[in-house]
Amino acid sequence: MAAVLIFGASGYSGLELLRLLGAHPEVEVVGASSDKYAGEPVRRRVPSFPRELKFQPHEAVEALSGEIAFLATPARTSLALAPRLLARGLRVIDLSGAFRLQDPAAYPTWYGFAHDAGPALAEAVYGLPELPSAPPPGRLVANPGCYATAAIMAVAPFLSAGLVPPGAPIFLDGKSGTTGAGRTLDEGLLHAEVDANLRPYRLLQHQHTPEIEQALSQVAGRPITVSFSAHLIPMRRGLMVSAYLPAAPGTTEEKVQVALQNAYRAHPFVRISERPPETGTLTGSNFVELHARYDPRVQAVLAFAAIDNLVKGAAGQAVQNLNRMLNLPETTGLLPEGWVTGR
C-alpha cells in the first residue's frame, strides 16, 4: 500500500479525494490536511472513509512520511508546497494550475503571481491521459483543470483528423456548477445569488484559456487560439463545454463520427454518445461523455463534453494519474474490477 497525504482535504476536491482514495485498494491515506477541520474525524465529512483518521493542520501533515502527495490547494499554496515535498522524495499530484503552463512568463497574466519554481515546472507532466501520446507521469503531475479537461477532449479529435482549417476561430462555451468555484466564502456564490440565475464570468481572462491552447497546439502541431467563455449555472456539480469549430472543406457527418471514435478507442473513461450528453448522469463518476455533429448549413462541427467537475475534472482524474504513476490499470479504485467498456 502506498502511503498518501492529501493537502486541502476539507475542500470540495479534497473531500472527493478522501472518498475515492478511501476505497482504493492500493493506497492508504495517512494524512489529511485542513486548518479549518483540524482535530475532526474524517468520517464526519466522508462517512465511507474506511479508517479512523483525523484532519490535521497543514504543517502537521507536511511533517508526516508518505510516498505520494495530492495537493487540492490554491495554486499559490501548491507553488510553494510542491518543491518542498519533491525535495523530500515524495511524488506529487497537484490539482491546482500551478504547474500546468509550460511558460512561467504566462503566470502573472493568468494566475496573478510570478512563477518562482522553475525546476519543478520544468519536470511537471500535464496529466490528461486521453491526450494522444500523453507522457508517463514523472515525479510531478499537473492535473488538468475542469473546463480544460472537457474543452480539450471535445476539440482534440477534430484537430487530429485535420477537420479544422488553420486559422479558424474556435469558440468554447463552458458551464459549471458552483462547486467549481471551491468552498471559499464569496457573496456571488450565495444560494440567493446563484439560484434561478445564469451568468458568464471571468470573460477573456479565465485561467484555463492558456492551458486549453497549450494542449490543443500540441495536438494540432501548430499554434491554436481559442475564445472561451465560462458560465456559472445553478447546480452543485457538473460541467459542460460546447465547442463550435469551423470545418475544413470536405467535412461530413461520417468523418466527424470517425474522428471521434478514432481518438478515444482505447480509453475506458470516454463515452461517445449518440444523443447530446447531460451532466446529471455523470455525477460521482470519472467518465467524460462526448457527442459531436456536423452542421452542413454553416459548415461547422459542434462538439460537446460533459463531466463531473469534481471527479473527471479534479479528484477522479488525479486518481487516474495515481494509477498511471503506480503502473496500475487506470480504472483501479474508479471502476469495479472486471468492468469492460460497453463501446
Q: Where on the chain is the footprint of ligand NAP (CB under 6 A)?
A: 7-14, 34-37, 58, 72-75, 77, 95-96, 145-146, 179-180, 182-184, 309-310, 313-314
- Taking the C-alpha atoms of residue 2 and residue 199, their distance in angstroms, rounded to an integer, is 43
Other Cβ atoms closer than 10 A to 134: 15
Nearer to ligand NAP, 37 or 264 (CB): 37
Nearer to ligand NAP, 8 or 22 (CB): 8
Give catalytic status of residue 146 as yes or no: yes
In the complex, the smallest distance separating the C-beta of residue 46 from ligand NAP, rounded to whole angstroms, is: 13
In the complex, the smallest distance separating the C-beta of residue 185 from ligand NAP, rounded to whole angstroms, is: 10
Nearer to ligand NAP, 100 or 271 (CB): 100
Contacts of 213 (CB under 8 A, 6+ apart): 223, 224, 225, 226
Nearer to ligand NAP, 147 or 294 (CB): 147
Nearer to ligand NAP, 7 or 126 (CB): 7
In the complex, the smallest distance separating the C-beta of residue 254 from ligand NAP, rounded to whole angstroms, is: 35
Q: Among 27, 68, 146, 305, which one carries the catalytic annotation?
A: 146
- φ/ψ region of 39 (left if φ > 0, alpha if ψ in -120 to 50, else beta) reads left
- Taking the C-alpha atoms of residue 322 and residue 326, their distance in angstroms, rounded to an integer, is 6
**Among 196, 76, 71, CA closest to 142:** 71
- Taking the C-alpha atoms of residue 289 and residue 249, their distance in angstroms, rounded to an integer, is 27
* Cell numbers 467524460: residue: 288
Nearer to ligand NAP, 54 or 183 (CB): 183
In the complex, the smallest distance separating the C-beta of residue 70 from ligand NAP, rounded to whole angstroms, is: 10
The distance from CA 91 to its chain's CA centroid, rounded to whole angstroms, is 18
Give the orientation angle of helix 146-160 with respect to helix 253-263, to 10 degrees: 120
Name residue 32's beta-bridge partners: 6
- Taking the C-alpha atoms of residue 142 and residue 146, their distance in angstroms, rounded to an integer, is 12
In the complex, the smallest distance separating the C-beta of residue 135 from ligand NAP, rounded to whole angstroms, is: 20
- Taking the C-alpha atoms of residue 83 and residue 118, their distance in angstroms, rounded to an integer, is 10
- Taking the C-alpha atoms of residue 175 and residue 248, their distance in angstroms, rounded to an integer, is 27
The residue whose Cβ lies closest to ligand NAP is 11
Strand locations in 185-317 (E)? 199-201, 226-232, 239-246, 270-272, 288-295, 300-307
The residues carrying an active-site annotation are: 146
